[in-house]
Structure 1
Amino acid sequence: MENKTTSSNFIKNIINEDLKSGEYNEIVTRFPPEPNGYLHIGHAKSIVLNFDLADEYNGKTNLRFDDTNPLKEDQEFVDSIKEDVKWLGYEWENLCFASNYFDEMYDRAVLLIKKGLAYVEDLSVDEIREYRGTLKEPGKESPSRSRSVEENLDLFERMKNGEFKNGEKVLRAKIDMASPNINMRDPVIYRISHANHHNTGDKWCIYPMYAYAHPLEDAIEGVTHSICTLEFEDQRPLYNWVVEHSEVEAKPKQIEFARLNLTNTVMSKRKLKQLIDENYVDGWDDPRMPTISGLRRRGFTPEAIRAFCREIGVAKSYSTVDVQMLEHFVREDLKLKSPRTMAVLKPLKVVITNYPEGQVEMLDAEINPENPEMGTRQIPFSREIYIEQEDFMENPPKKYFRLFPGNEVRLKHAYFIKCEDVIKDEEGNVIELHCTYDPETKSGTGFTGRKVKGTIHWVEATNAKSAEFRLYDSLIVENEEEESESFLDHVNPNSLEIVNGFVEPNMDEAKAQDKYQFFRHGYFNVDPKETTAEKLVFNRIVSLKSSFKL
C-alpha cells in the first residue's frame, strides 16, 4: 500500500499548533496555478504537498485557477492543469477560479477606498517605479495620494466602466512609502486591461493584481494554510494587510517553503515557453520537457512522481535535487510491473546456417522474473535473427565477451551461437553474420555443459515488428548560468536520438502508454502521440542502471 503520510516538517508543526490552539478546526489547502502554461515537476511537489497535508488531517484541497491576467491565460492551460492533477491521483474538493470572485474583489477595493486605504494613480509605470525608491532609499509620495475618497471612488468606477486606456490609471493600496519592505510601498492592486477573459468574457476591463487577489481568494474559500514558495515571503506582510483591511471573515495564514530545483532542468514556465516558441522542442508535452504532460508522455508514472515528491520533503532553504533521484523512483516503480522483452535498436542480421530452413519454434520466457505472477510469454526463434550492431566486433579488444569471429555467445532465452563468417558490402561494411548454433544448449533444458561469458539479446527476423525508438538525454546540459548569458546557450543539441529497429512480434498488442523493460536498453513507453497502427514509437523513460544512491 502506498505511504501517503508525509514526514514531519515545519509546515505540519505549524498546523499542529494551530489545531491545538483552536485557531482552525478544519484544514483547508489549495493548489492555485495560473493558467498561463502547462504544469511542471516543481508544481507536482506543490500538488503532492497540499493534497497530502489535507488528506492527513482529514481536510480538503481546492483546485483554484489564479486567472487574473487575461493577456496570458487560455482555456487550453485550464484543461491541461485539471488533467495533470487527476493523473497524479488527486481529486479536489472544489474547482475555483479567481475570476468568479471579481465582483467581490471590486467591492473590497471600494471598501479600501472608503477607508482611505486605496487611491487612483495617474503616474505612469516608469514614474511609479521611480517614486517607489530603492532597497536603501525610501520612496516618495505620489501627487495622487492626497485625492479625496469621493474623487477616488468616482475615478475607480470610471476605470471599471472603460473610460480610460490601458496603463492610463491604476488603483494603489495606501500603506507606507517609507516601509523597509518595498512591497508595502503603495503597491498597485488594480490595472486596466481591455482584453477578453477566458471565463468572464468582456465583462471587465480592470483586473486585480495577484498580490491583492490571492489573499482574498484564500479568505473567500476558507483556506486555512496558504502554502507557497519562498519568493513570496517578502509579500507576506502585504498578504496579511489585505486580509486585515478588507474585513474578510476568514483569516488564512501564508506559509512559504523552498521550491524544487532539479539539476539540468529548467523550472520556469517563461523559459519552457521560450523553448517551444523557438522550436527547441515540439511542444509542452515533448518528452524532454519537465512538464507533467511531458513526463507522462515519456512514460513516468504518477506513483513514481508522488514517491519522489514525498521523499524530498519540504524545507525553508533552497537546495538542488539530482534529477537521477527522480529517475530512481521511476525504476523502483516500474521494475515489478513492467513486462520484460527484447528489442534490437540498431540491427545486424544473423543467419544461423545449420538451423532448418522454414522452421520456427517457440521458446518460453518469464514476463518479469522479479514478479513471477505475471506468467510467461513465448518468443519465436528461426534461422534468421537480428542482434545489436554493438554486440559484434570483427577485431575486439581484450575482455570483449560478445560476438566476434570464432567466438560463441548465448542468445538470451535460446541457444549458443558461434560466429563463422562475416559478410560485407562493397565498401567493407559488415551487413550480415553467418553463425552456427548448438541444439544441445537450449535455454531452460538444464544444460550444464561448457560455459560462455557473453549473453546477448536478439529478435527473430521474419516475424519481428519494426519500431522507432527515441532515446533522450538532458535537455539542459548545465544548471548553473551567469546572469548575462541566455539559458538557451545550455540547450543540449544531442538531447534526442531517433533510431529504427525491431521488437518481438508479441508487441502487436502494445498500446499507447504501455511500458516495457527492454533487455539491456532500459524502460520504454509506447508514445501516445506518434504511435499508429502501422508504426510503433517507443520513448526511453530511463536506462536500467544509475550510479545514484538514495
Structure 2
Amino acid sequence: MSETQETPRTHFIRQIIESDLASGKHARLVTRFPPEPNGYLHIGHAKSIVLNFGLAQAFTGECHLRFDDTNPHKENLEFVEAIKQDVRWLGFDWGERVYFASDYFEQLYAFAIELIEQGHAYVCDLTAEETRLHRGTLTEPGRDSPYRNRSIAENRDLFTRMRAGEFPDGARTLRARIDMASPNINLRDPVLYRIKHGVVHHQTGSAWCLYPTYDYTHPISDALEGVTHSLCTLEFEDHRPLYDWCLEHVSVPCQPRQIEFSRLNLEYTVMSKRRLTELVAEGHVDGWGDPRMPTLAGLRRRGYTPAAIRDFCERVGITKSDNLVEMALLESAIRDDLDAHAPRRMAVLRPLKVVLINDPESLVDSIEARNHPKDDGLGVRSIPFSRELYIDQTDFAENPPKGFKRLVPGGEVRLRNAYVIRCEEVIKDGQGRIVALHAWVDHDTLGRDPQGRKVKGVIHWVSADHARRAEVRLYDRLFRTPVPGAGNADFRADINPDSLRVLNEALVEPALADALPGERFQFEREGYFVVDPDTSAERPVFNLTVGLRDTWGKGRS
C-alpha cells in the first residue's frame, strides 16, 4: 500500500482464517474481489476490497480481481477499466491475478454437461413467468416443471443446440434438478443457463449466445482459481446451499468456503447499483464521478483519500449484523486524515472589500505564514498584504446577533496571520447594500496583542491586488433524509436541492494559483477543498470535500 498501513481490527472472518491456517486446512490464503462490470464501484465495494485484499496482505496470501461478466447487455469495458483504477487507487495490487468469469465459459459448459449426464440438470421450456409461478412461495412448495423428467440424451441434445443458437431468447433454460419442495427457494431447480442473442461480449465477442447465471458461475470460478475463503455479503447467505451444491456435483479441484458478512449501508445515500444508474441516466448527477455520488470515482473527485476510506472501513468493522452507518463517521475519517496532511491556505468565498484608511495606497507588504500549524516540514509561505483586502461577507455584521465574535462597526478583529483592524465606516450603495468597509489597522499587532489587549475574533482575508478569482463548488449530501425512499417512497423525492452550490466570485490567495488537480488544502475557517480536474490557470476550480466540523442541519457559527 502506498500510504500508511492502517492497523486491522480482528473479527470473526479473520479468526476463521487464522484457525484454518493454523490447523493446516489451507497452506495459503486465497481470496477474491468479484465485481460485476455494470457500473462504477461505490463505498460499499470499498469495504469488500479492503477486507479481501487486506486479509491477503495480512496473511501473505493472494487476492484475485475477477470480473463477474455473465450479463453482457449491462456490461462494458468502461466499467472494467474504472474498477481497476479504483482498486489501484485504494492502494491494492492484484499483480497478474486478474480474471474474468468469461475465461471459464468452456469449462463451465463442460461442467453443465457433467450435471446433465449425472441427471442433475435438465433443459426446461417454461417461460420466465411460468418458471416463477411454478417456484411457489415461502409458505407453499413449488411444482415440478413438466420438462423435469426429460431423458439425459434429450437434455444433452437440447443443451448442445442451445449453444449452437438454434433457439430464440427465453425459449429454453438449463435448470438444476434439486428439490422443488425445499424451504430454501434458491434450491427449487434454479436456472443455470439462459439464451441471449445479439449481444457482443466485451471479452468473448459474439462467440456465445448461451450465458451462465451468477449462482452457477461464481462457486465454480472460485474453485478453478483455488480460492480458499469466498467472502460475500449477507444477502448471499441463502444462496450458500446452492454454492455448495454446485461444487459438490461437478469435478472441480477444490471446494472453497463461503462466509457472509454485513454489507455497508450509509446514511444520506443509496448503495443500489440500479438506483445509482438511474441517478446518472436521469441527469440528477453529473455522471458516475459526480462528487455527490458514493462511488469511489466521486469520492476521489471530492477529495477523499485512499487512507481515509481504508480507515473508515476499519472503523465500520466486519460483523454479521446489518446496520446503518452514520455519514458523520465517513466525514470524520477524511477530516482526521486531511487535518494531519493538508496545507493551509486562505480563500474568501463571498468577498467584501475592506480599505485600510491609515495605510498608503501604494502599500504592498508581505506576511509570512506556516503552511501547517503542526507540521514544520510543510514549510512557510509569503502572503501579500495591501491597503485593500477582502474578507468574507459572513464575517461582518452591522447589527450583530448575540455572541457574534467577528467584525462589527467600531469593533476589532485580528486578520489571520496578520494585524488587528477596527471597523471605522460602513460604505453602502444607493439601494442600501453594504459594498465596502473602511477600517483602521494597528501596525504594532503583527502576531501579538500589545499591552494585554485581547481580540476575540480572528478572520481570514486575501489581498485585493493579488488574489485570484476562482470557482468554488460547495458539495453537500445528495439526499435530505438518512434513508432515501424509506417506506417504499420514491427515493428521488428525497434528493437535496442544495447538494451543490457554485460560487463564481470566490477569491483565493496567490499560493493557490498553480495548484494541480487532486491537490488538497484546508481553506482556513471554511473546510477542506480539492482542486477539481476541470481547473485551469485562467479559472481555478475547487471542490469542498468536507467542512471543518459536522454542521449538517446547522447554521454556520
Which TM-score applies when normalising by structure 2? 0.96
2:211 matches 1:207: yes
Tell me the SS of whatever aligns to 1:249. coil
Q: Report the Cα offset of residue 377 of structure 1.
A: 0.8
Partners in 2 of 1:410 and 1:46 — Cα distance? 48
The residue type equivalent to 1:349 in the other structure is K
Alignment of 1:82-97 (within 5 A): 82-93=84-95, 94-97=97-100
Q: Determine if the alignment matches structure 1 residue 320 to structure 2 residue 324.
A: yes
Matched, 1:33 2:6: no
- For 2:327 and 2:225, locate their aligned partners in 1 and report how far apart those are by CA, in whole Å: 36
Show the 5 A alignment for 1:493-504.
493-500=497-504, 501-504=506-509
Q: Equivalent residue for 1:256?
A: 260
* 1:40-51 correspondence to structure 2 within 5 Å: 40-51=42-53
Query: In 2, Cα distance between the equivalents of 1:55 and 1:503?
Result: 43
How far did residue 448 of structure 1 move?
4.4
For each residue in 1:190-220, what CA deviation from the matched residue of structure 2 results, as whole angstroms up to 9, or x when unmatched? 0000111011000000100000000011001
Contact 1:88 1:303 in 2 (8 A): yes
| Alpha-carbon spacing, 1:203–1:39, altered in 2? closer, same or farther (3 Å) | same
Match of 1:464 in 2: 467
What is the Cα deviation at residue 447 of structure 1?
3.9
Residues 390-411 of structure 1, C-alpha deviation per residue, up to 9 Å, x if partnerless? Answer: 1111122333222122112111
Structure 2, gaps ≥5 residues long: 553-557
Inter-partner Cα distance in structure 1 for 2:72 and 2:419: 65
Match of 2:56 in 1: 54
* CA–CA separation in structure 1 for the residues paired with 2:166 and 2:196: 12
CA distance in 1, matches of 2:195, 2:35: 22
Structure 2 CA distance for aligned equivalents of residues 547 and 251 of structure 1: 50
Partners of 2:152 and 2:162 lie apart in 1 by 15
- Deviation string for 1:431-460 (max 9, x for gaps)? 11111211111226x744522221111000
Instruction: Give the one of 108, 111, 120 matched to 1:108.
Output: 111
Distance, in Å, in 2 between the alignment partners of 1:478 and 1:158 is 52
2:479 aligned with 1:476: yes
Q: How far did 1:157 drift?
A: 0.8
Is 2:513 the counterpart of 1:513?
no
3-12 or 493-502, which moves further after superposition?
A: 3-12
1:68-467 superposed matches below 5 A: 68-93=70-95, 94-194=97-197, 195-443=199-447, 447-467=450-470
Letter in 1 for 2:173: V
Output the CA distance in 2 between the equivalents of 1:76 and 1:217. Answer: 23
Deviations 1:486-530 (A, max 9, x none): 1111111111111131000111220101111111101100011x2
Cα shift readout 1:336-361 (whole Å, capped 9, x = no counterpart) = 21111110000001111111112211
**Of 7-16 and 279-288, the range deviating more from structure 2:** 7-16
Show CA shifts across 1:258-284 (max 9, x none).
Answer: 001111121111111111111111010
CA deviation after TM superposition for structure 1 residue 20, in Å: 3.1
Change (3 A) 1:128 1:350: same
Deviations for 1:176-198, whole angstroms, at most 9, x for unmatched residues? 11111110010000000011101
Contact 1:5–1:52 at 8 Å: present in 2 too? no
Task: Answer whether contact 1:4 1:52 (CA < 8 A) is retained.
Answer: no
Flag the 1:95–1:175 CA change in 2: closer, same or farther, 3 A: same
Partners of 1:5 and 1:56 within 8 A in 2 = no
Please give the secondary structure, in 2, of the residue aligned with 1:534: coil
How far apart, in 1, do the equivalents of 2:368 and 2:420 lie?
16
Structure-2 separation of matches of 1:181 and 1:450 = 77
3-state SS of 2:206 partner: coil
Identify the range of structure 1 (231-240 vs 463-472) with the bigger mean alpha-carbon deviation: 463-472
The amino acid that maps onto 2:35 is: P
Please tell me the residue identity of whatever aligns with 1:471: L
For residues 9 and 177 of structure 1, what CA distance do their matches in structure 2 show? Answer: 37
Query: AA paired with 2:544?
Result: R
* 1:527 aligned residue (526, 532, 545): 532
Deviation, 1:100, is 0.7
- Residue 546 of structure 1: CA displacement? 3.1
Q: Gapped runs of 5+ residues in structure 1?
A: none
Equivalent position SS for 1:91: coil
SS of structure 2 residue aligned to 1:265: coil
Deviation at 1:23, TM superposition (A): 2.1
Deviation at residue 375 of structure 1 after TM alignment:
1.3
Please tell me the residue identity of whatever aligns with 2:230.
S
One-letter amino acid of the structure 2 residue matched with residue 132 of structure 1: R
Contact kept, 8 Å, 1:476 with 1:492, in 2: the verdict is yes
User: What is the total number of aligned residue pairs between the two structures?
Assistant: 546
* Alpha-carbon distance between aligned partners in 1 of 2:379 and 2:22, rounded to the nearest angstrom: 53
What whole-Å deviation, never above 9, does each CA across 1:269-315 have from its counterpart, x for those lacking one?
Answer: 11111111111110100000010000000000000111111121100
Following superposition, the deviation at residue 5 of structure 1 comes to 4.6
For residue 453 of structure 1, give the secondary structure of its aligned residue in structure 2: coil
* Deviation by residue 1:370-403 (Cα, 9 ceiling, x = unmatched): 1122111110000111000011111223332221
SS at match of 2:73: coil
State the SS of the aligned residue for 1:421.
strand
